[in-house]
Structure 1
Amino acid sequence: MNELLNDFPVVTEIPVAWGEMDALQHVNNVVYFRYFETARIDYFHHINLMDELARDNIGPVLSETHSRYKIPVTYPDTLLVGSRVCDIHSDRFSMEYQIVSKKLGKVTTTGTATVVMFDFNHGSKAQLPDSIVSAIRRLQGSDMAVPVQSLSENDNAER
């Protein structure tokens, strides 16, 4: 089962709760976004992003998220949620998630998210600190195939 998450530097274990199931007797679709959130915050702790927020009041805001459901999950089960950064820009980064069921031994769900850095003091987007980019590279390996993108026309258009 671990081989299904080899490419994910952070793996978060989450037990499925009885109350997360819906009338169709499987985990409700909205719950997966909570699983992704839990894994995302775990990843943030690994790169000290929450310390950055506490110190400078600049932190992550979720811009968009997506999920692909492959196999239904039911109670009881324990899920392993892998998370990693797959793309970095000057003011944002994208993440990928993969959920593996311990009971089924298979990938049940995949997902993505875009996280934008936000300056809560000024109410505007902020640059991704170099210290966070370095922490991501340390966590995911120096050979990580994720270059930091310079500001492109798309980045400027979204400001």
Structure 2
Amino acid sequence: MRLLLMRQLPSSVSISLQHRIPRHARSYSTPSGSDEPATASLNPRWLADLRARIGKCISFGLKAEQTKEAGSILQEIALDWRGLVAGSEGFLTEKNRRGLYRQEVVWGEMDSMGHVNNVVYNRYAESARVNWALNFANVLDPTHKREWSELVTPTGIGMILRSIKTDYKFPMKYPDRVTVLHKLRKRPEPNIDHFILDVLILSELHRRPAARCVEDIVVYDYKAAQKAPLEPFMVEKLQETFELQEQAKHYFGNKVLDLIGRVRKLEKGSWDRIDAKEDLGSIVDL
């Protein structure tokens, strides 16, 4: 799955979006020249591996300043792991952008194999897609609440799922919680009557994607019984959303690379040196 190349935003668009991006995100530098997220070449378990690498550094002993740095890195990972994992791919993780957030996996969603049944993942994606649209109605563009709300009903201009493709990354089990996020694959153009949404289903227990979906959405006029273009104000809001996705991808991508660099620096000052000795503790004679 490839993402679009980050483009230089027109000044007018940048100004209009500034209030939607956290201040620290706007001040963070972004890389250029690549349309791949920073985590594309990393092991899917990269976040867990990063914590394990810090643990190894601690086992070889750290100086006071290094211990403080290790604690700072672990705290950043714990507080914003969704941003690091999903934001670095362009998914928006803020409260008013989430489809599902920390929803409990219930025992009855497992099948006879003791895993969450495959069809449940698609239900997660469906429920999150409805909430994704309602976020525009209730928070992001309440001026057009009725029109956004109708997208998830068969009463006017609505969304129809033409197809869904699901890739299962590992089998989830009860107990766990899921966060489900949607993002636009391409920047919407005027008069569009269909679009693609990428879906990320995150396991909170494992802090990595349990499944990925691709949803092909058709805009349909139920009264006229035919496809219809999105309203211009909807296209504008979706375009703004896409630009925010691109900014998030590069901000969190840089943050991931920075954390990896900081952990590597700790390694060079602990176990990865000539005189390194693992601290196995002391044995007391009884």
Query: Which bin holds the TM-score, normalised by the shorter protein?
Result: 0.7 to 0.9
Identify the match of residue 20 of structure 1 among 106, 109, 112.
Answer: 109
Q: How does 1:1-159 map to 2 (within 5 A)?
A: 1-2=81-82, 3-6=84-87, 7-9=90-92, 10-11=97-98, 12-13=100-101, 14-48=103-137, 51-52=146-147, 54=150, 57-87=156-186, 88=188, 90-141=192-243, 144=246
Q: TM-score, normalised by structure 2?
A: 0.47
- Residues 19 and 143 (structure 1 numbering): CA distance in 2 closer, same or farther, change over 3 Å? closer
- Residues 142 and 70 (structure 1 numbering): CA distance in 2 closer, same or farther, change over 3 Å? closer
Deviates more, 1:79-88 or 1:20-29: 79-88
* Counterpart residue number, 2:276: none
* Counterpart residue number, 2:279: none
Q: CA deviation at 1:101?
A: 0.7
Deviates more, 1:4-13 or 1:37-46: 4-13
SS of 2:113's partner is: coil
Task: Tell whether the 8 Å contact from 2:183 to 2:245 is kept in structure 1 after alignment.
Answer: no
Q: Give the whole-Å Cα distance in 1 for the aligned partners of 2:112 and 2:168.
A: 17
Q: TM-score, normalised by structure 1?
A: 0.82
Larger strand percent: 1
- Residues 141 and 121 (structure 1 numbering): CA distance in 2 closer, same or farther, change over 3 Å? same
Letter in 2 for 1:76: P
> Runs of 5+ in structure 1 lacking a partner?
146-159
Q: Give the whole-Å Cα distance in 2 for the aligned partners of 1:77 and 1:135.
A: 33
State how many pairs are aligned.
Answer: 145
Task: Tell whether the 8 Å contact from 1:58 to 1:126 is kept in structure 2 after alignment.
Answer: yes
Runs of 4+ aligned structure 1 residues displaced above 2 Å come to 46-51, 53-56, 137-145
- Residues 35 and 137 (structure 1 numbering): CA distance in 2 closer, same or farther, change over 3 Å? same
Task: Tell whether the 8 Å contact from 1:50 to 1:59 is kept in structure 2 after alignment.
Answer: no
Task: Tell whether the 8 Å contact from 1:59 to 1:118 is kept in structure 2 after alignment.
Answer: yes
Deviations, residues 3-45 of structure 1 (Å, cap 9, x unaligned): 1111212332121111110000010000011000111111111
Larger Rg: 2
Letter in 2 for 1:61: I
Task: Tell whether the 8 Å contact from 1:118 to 1:125 is kept in structure 2 after alignment.
Answer: yes
Query: How large is the RMSD of aligned CA atoms in angstroms?
Result: 2.3
Q: CA deviation at 1:121?
A: 0.7
